[in-house]
Amino acid sequence: MQSSIRFNYIENKEFIHLVLSNLPNYSTFCVLHSNEINSPLLHDEYDFIFGLGSQKQFQSNNPINWDFFNTLEQQNCFLMGFISYAYNKDFWKISEKKSTIAPPANSFWFAPQYLIYKRKEEKEFVIYGENPSEFYHSILQSQIAPLESSPEFKHEFLPLLSKEKYIHTIEKIREDIKNGEYYEINYCQEFISNKFNSDPFLIWEKIRNSNKAPFSAFFRHHSFFSISLSPERFLKRKANILLSQPIKGTAMRGGTELEDEKNKSNLQNSEKERAENIMIVDLVRNDLSRVCEVGTVSVEELCGIYSFKNVHQMISTISGKQLEKTKLGEILKNTFPMGSMTGAPKRMVVERASEYEVSARGLYSGSIGYLESNGNFDLNVVIRTLIIDTEKKIASFHVGGAITYDSDPFAEYEECMLKGKFWLDLFKNN
């Protein structure tokens, strides 16, 4: 029989470290971590949630079966999992390109054997599962092999798209926009590494403290791993309120306080970045209006600047009061995929991006998160994410950007390389 037990967080930080060290013992797990980034405007409920082991699994490969998510709502238990970008494949009539690393399913969710979580502002964390006290003591007594102090991650990641092809495609996109086909499109490219043999657990351990992100996630199902340093929320539901926080606009942190403030100010005052952000805000408002009461969809914050360890981000917050008795499947059908990773108008740009991109996005541009037994949920945007298949010994990551008619193809390419720099440097400098 499942039950819960509470422990003081400050007095048990070593236990939390041991839990993370024990992750290799579980063939299925999900770690969601806000990395102690505290801002009331981010609307976070939890500091962290760890789901270890799987007592029940639910998966769907039918990309137009939105009733699948209604089934999840009826389980009356805490679930963790993901929705891959491919879940829109038939609904949006996109191309049949294959993912370099296919996720276990188009959407995969599991009920953890053990759930460990800490809510914001609370001093205690909770362990939930069968015999939680016994689990607590077993973790404390576990023997953990010491991690390598400086593990080597030397791998070459190569783009599937040449610089020349990328720039040529951007020119075609600008021509589409000039002809009035759409206003803005998120265009992505993929970098891959073959013969990849680095340990995902060592990678996670190395980067999780040095690159803190509020919606980070570490997911595993057998040989499939996702290491995500996401700064972005796709969609959250608390009671009857839906909330989305799209990001459009990024600037690097400066080397000095003066340079940092300059970068932040340039981002805040960038007409291009603000125009892209506002365009996506309008799209999200339109999406939410289909599942929210008339007159309740509002912009809580427009083009707010948030500073994280490595970047400044331009984030807007849109919320609305959900229509009564609206089911999860209906909500996702009308909001997924997220506007920040598509463009506007959504149907046209999703279909056109799939024609122009050379590989399918897979889990990238999808979402990882949780669904509570009371119907509340929180879903991130899968960006800044490394995907690994340890059986096939291959790893990949995607980068992308919003393209408008004013976009400079060469500048867009450099921005992509900047976004990929973290992963490229991680596997180059060791």
* Residue range 254-284, pLDDT digits in tens: 989 999 999 999 999 999 899 989 999 999 9
Q: HSE of 146 in the Cβ direction (CA atoms, 13 Å)?
A: 3
Residues labelled as active-site residues: 232, 248
Percent of the chain with pLDDT over 90: 76
| pLDDT number for residue 95 | 59
Domain boundaries of the chain, sorted by first residue: 2-142+155-428
* Residue range 19-48, pLDDT digits in tens: 999 999 999 999 999 987 777 677 888 999
Domain covering 2-142+155-428 assigned CATH 3.40.50.10790 in the classification: no
- Give 205 or 393, the one with higher predicted confidence: 393
Residue pair 83/336 in contact (Cβ under 8 Å)? The answer is: yes
| pLDDT number for residue 266 | 95
* Residue range 213-249, pLDDT digits in tens: 899 999 999 999 999 999 999 999 999 999 999 998 8
- Give 88 or 384, the one with higher predicted confidence: 384
Give CA separation, 212 vs 76, 148, 322, in Å.
Answer: 32, 21, 32
Judged on CB neighbours under 10 Å (0-12, 13-18, 19+), 43 is middle
* Residue range 295-333, pLDDT digits in tens: 999 999 999 999 887 789 999 999 999 999 899 999 999
* Residue range 343-368, pLDDT digits in tens: 999 989 998 998 999 999 999 999 99
Per the prediction, the chain carries an average pLDDT of: 91
| pLDDT number for residue 213 | 87
Tokens read off for 200: 């995902």
3-class secondary-structure state, position 102: coil
* Residue range 79-121, pLDDT digits in tens: 999 999 988 665 555 556 778 898 999 999 999 999 999 999 8
Nearest partner of 116 among 31, 207, 54, judged by Cα:
31
C-beta contacts of 261-267 below 8 A and 24+ residues apart: 263/312, 264/305, 264/307, 264/312, 267/305, 267/312, 267/314
